[in-house]
Structure 1
């Protein structure tokens, strides 16, 4: 029979709880937002002042003893024949032991899962104490952009101490080869993302209120579906010339650096895409999000825990029923957004070829990642203080621990997280500069 243990509180623990109660009362008395304080403290504790450079605490492979507040995930190892393992997975083991790439650009393309990806790169950057390219502003419209409709400018970003380099760039900005290379090191790995153009167009049309403006101008009912509204737009396009199309016309290509004046120049678009293929080692495909993350993990030598995520900035206005367009409107959209369709088709083909080159074990790793991701998402959806989730070692990962604090960071919205990081980056630069002046 299992005996219930009698727990006693030590003097140290009692003093700790008393201190917490006193501080909480003081915050409430002074009217300070506990949420703002705890977010700042959370980032500082885990990312900035932590004793380890890793976001996740590392363990040697072992059997974990679980209790009432500790979930444990033990996924079965993939069965691999000795010959197949020898021929194919050698590359996997080599990559897992190589040093992580820490100089990375991620082009944050609008409405293509980029906010979720940005959180992954920010977490990696701060967990490894890297210099992140951050906007110098902390407030105001579009402050979170490195360049609102334009490329990055070193005069509008938070400076870094002398003899240091920027490592991570992942905020919204228009890509420009020369401007990026003036800021980032020569060995930087460039990563982008694309999304199927019809779904991208519909998502952007709803999110940026393009649908609403057409409804308002045309007199259509607010209950009209996006499919009906877009049909009205393409049927009588001349009536809506005054409606701004900045976020819905070839927006992916524009984010990758295609000038608006060249949208209809087929030869220029073809050469433009060819140049991007040289610059970007990986262009992820949103429709293959898990495969994209595992490929990213392999290319950068990252760990499985580095690519875990909780979906962010999902379009809450999206109908439960999947929306599409009438066939005739898709044909018109292909002409109107020809650059985006060409961009997507090119990088989708290249992406599938890159996946194929990884060999059959790649798909088994993807399945493993999906299982771990499912457990992590479920765990983070019901956070309780003291909870932790252990993911055991497998062929694809070392054992690691996921705690409630990590979930809070993964689910933190872009704006408050950026404000904290910008504030810290400025303090770091100011502190190093003052220390140099004193010495």
Structure 2
């Protein structure tokens, strides 16, 4: 009997322990849930409702100054945000995402996490997860490092001691003399790609660390677009995002210059490569990767790019006439995947610059 009473007491104690444990787990889960809501972390994601054919309704674009990414791909993303009623992180060029939490007035009445973002910042996934929804695809845009250098040093804010425009040749004769430190203390002339992806300057010529950084970008980013191959990049982007041709259309007048002659100046390129070794490694890796993607796509991909270019010409021609008329006008053109319709409102958004699109989003989000 003593053993029976002992066993019964033990069982009773076990039950109490189990109840206590369940209570602790429930309290922890509820507390964790409320804490994530309080700081703006995403609580959960419904992956069951997302199929292989559903478009991604969230995207983060890391932009680097003077790549023209904000003006091109950024405008595509902001237009998508407007037409699909999504929320976005609103920052101007040069603003850093990590400052948003300390400046509530800089944002809007939408609660975190946000659907989209077009921002310039040193890549930090820990910070991004505080503001973006889970499973957000990360995208970035690169252009040839020498063309990027020309854009940076010919900007009106970048002058030498005599206030004259700096040429690429003059800069490369003595880079240290012209090195410009901007407000955010990130050099835009010395390996800016590596800097924005988080590499410290003393690693710019370390081959193993450069390869490690490229592997990190490969792992974390769903697509790296190349500005010199704008249309091929956008078609790849469309496939990754599962968007429509209408979503990736852009104003041909805003298409950036390519400067092919500059990229063929072997002596200048060699001198710049010695100054920006990390950036050349990053650019060439992802440029080659895009080339391989295009080659694997074969004739199917080539036809898709060709049809996309034809569609762009048709839409831009229509919008050029539609905006000079009154009322709502629509145009339908057939591409290899079906018809796309553009209204007068669509045309206005297509031809708006990135500043106008940002202002539309700012007014809409504050008003809601």
- Partner Cα separation in structure 2 for residue 319 and residue 394 of structure 1: 27
- Partner Cα separation in structure 1 for residue 258 and residue 282 of structure 2: 27
C-alpha contact (below 8 Å) 2:79/2:357 kept by paired residues? no
Distance 1:128 1:111, change over 3 A: same
C-alpha contact (below 8 Å) 1:387/1:404 kept by paired residues? yes
Distance 1:152 1:299, change over 3 A: farther
C-alpha contact (below 8 Å) 1:116/1:309 kept by paired residues? yes
**SS of match in other structure, 1:207:** coil
C-alpha contact (below 8 Å) 2:88/2:114 kept by paired residues? yes
1:67 is aligned to none
Q: How does 1:34-45 map to 2 (within 5 A)?
A: none
2:65 is aligned to 110
Match for residue 124 of structure 1 among 80, 85, 94: 80
C-alpha contact (below 8 Å) 1:334/1:341 kept by paired residues? yes
TM-score by length of 2: 0.73
- The structure carrying a bigger helix percent of its residues is 2
Distance 1:161 1:200, change over 3 A: closer
C-alpha contact (below 8 Å) 1:312/1:413 kept by paired residues? no
- Partner Cα separation in structure 2 for residue 407 and residue 291 of structure 1: 23
Q: Which has the higher contact order (CA 8 A, sep 6+)?
A: 1
Q: What is the number of equivalent residue pairs in this alignment?
A: 310
1:405 is aligned to 345
Q: How does 1:242-257 map to 2 (within 5 A)?
A: 243-244=180-181, 246-257=187-198
Q: How does 1:116-155 map to 2 (within 5 A)?
A: 116-135=72-91, 143-147=92-96, 153-155=100-102
Distance 1:423 1:361, change over 3 A: same
- Partner Cα separation in structure 1 for residue 113 and residue 260 of structure 2: 47
2:241 is aligned to 300
C-alpha contact (below 8 Å) 1:146/1:171 kept by paired residues? yes
**SS of match in other structure, 2:65:** coil
Q: CA RMSD in A?
A: 3.2
Larger radius of gyration: 2
Unaligned runs of 5+ in 2: 1-50
Offset of residue 131 of structure 1: 1.3
Offset of residue 152 of structure 1: 6.2
**SS of match in other structure, 1:333:** helix
Match for residue 199 of structure 1 among 141, 147, 171: 147
2:8 is aligned to none
C-alpha contact (below 8 Å) 2:110/2:365 kept by paired residues? no
Offset of residue 366 of structure 1: 0.7
TM-score by length of 1: 0.62
2:356 is aligned to 416
1:395 is aligned to 336
Offset of residue 421 of structure 1: 1.6
Offset of residue 407 of structure 1: 2.1
- Partner Cα separation in structure 2 for residue 215 and residue 402 of structure 1: 50
Offset of residue 301 of structure 1: 1.1
